[in-house]
């Protein structure tokens, strides 16, 4: 298996722009939030798995706090729009999930990396969160997210801006 060297983004970098289809049946254009909202863009491995469900529900349950901070949440995985729709309905998520089936945006953000699990190596999404300021620059780039306590860290980073 050939290893591609992942791009690693850092605070202060321009957030890579994208247009992706969402579970809501419309395309989401990152640039449309410029000068209007902060964006929490989080990448997760797979719809309806335990860690991904907990993470999505934590963002859902913190929507009022995020709204007060003029911040929206966008979730991204390589799952299909149909899979996202089922996940959103089952968990009553109140933010869009975006489908990056070809992995281009995952690669642009450096989250599609070589993973190892029980001695097996494979390419997959490393759970990651990017906090994007209204100016389109990264406030923070967090790779290898641990779900427990993550929403509190995200909220404190946005409050510090």
Per-residue pLDDT, averaged over 95-103, amounts to: 97
- Residue 2 has a pLDDT of 46
Render pLDDT for 4-30 as a digit per residue (tens, 0 to 9): 566 899 999 999 999 999 999 999 999
Would you say how long the chain is, in residues? 161
Active site annotation includes 106: no
Measured on CA atoms in the order 27, 32, 38, 41, is the torsion positive or negative?
positive
> Which of the four CATH numbers 3.40.30.10, 3.90.1170.50, 3.40.50.1970, 3.40.50.12780 does domain 19-159 have?
3.40.30.10
Give the DSSP per-residue string, 22-83: BTTSSEEEGGGGTTT-EEEEEE-S-TTSHHHHHHHHHHHHTHHHHHHTTEEEEEEESS-HHH
User: Both tokens of residue 156?
Assistant: 């404190």
Domain boundaries, the chain: 19-159
- Residue 4 has a pLDDT of 52
Render pLDDT for 132-148 as a digit per residue (tens, 0 to 9): 999 999 999 999 999 99
- Phi/psi at 77 (5° precision): -150, 180
User: Both tokens of residue 28?
Assistant: 């989401």
Render pLDDT for 63-92 as a digit per residue (tens, 0 to 9): 999 999 999 999 999 999 999 999 999 999
Residues 6+ positions from 5 with CB-CB distance below 8 Å: none
Mean pLDDT value across the chain: 95
20, 30, 52, 154: the catalytic one is: 52
Q: How many CA atoms lie within 13 A of 132 on its CB side?
A: 25
């Amino acid at each position: 298996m050939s290893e591609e060297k992942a791009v690693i983004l850092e605070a202060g970098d321009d957030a890579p722009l994208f247009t992706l289809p969402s579970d809501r049946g419309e395309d989401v254009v990152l640039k449309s939030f410029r000068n209007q909202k902060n964006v929490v863009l989080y990448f997760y491995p797979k719809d309806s798995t335990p860690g991904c469900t907990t993470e999505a529900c934590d963002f859902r349950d913190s929507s009022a706090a995020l709204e007060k901070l003029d911040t929206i949440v966008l979730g991204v995985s390589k799952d299909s729009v149909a899979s996202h729709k089922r996940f959103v309905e089952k968990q009553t998520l109140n933010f869009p999930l975006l489908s990056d089936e070809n992995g281009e945006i995952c690669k642009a953000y450096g989250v599609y990396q070589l993973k190892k699990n029980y001695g097996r190596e494979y390419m997959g999404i490393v759970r990651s969160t990017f906090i994007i300021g209204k100016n389109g620059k990264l406030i923070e780039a967090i790779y290898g997210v641990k779900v427990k306590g993550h929403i509190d860290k995200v909220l404190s980073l946005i409050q510090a801006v």
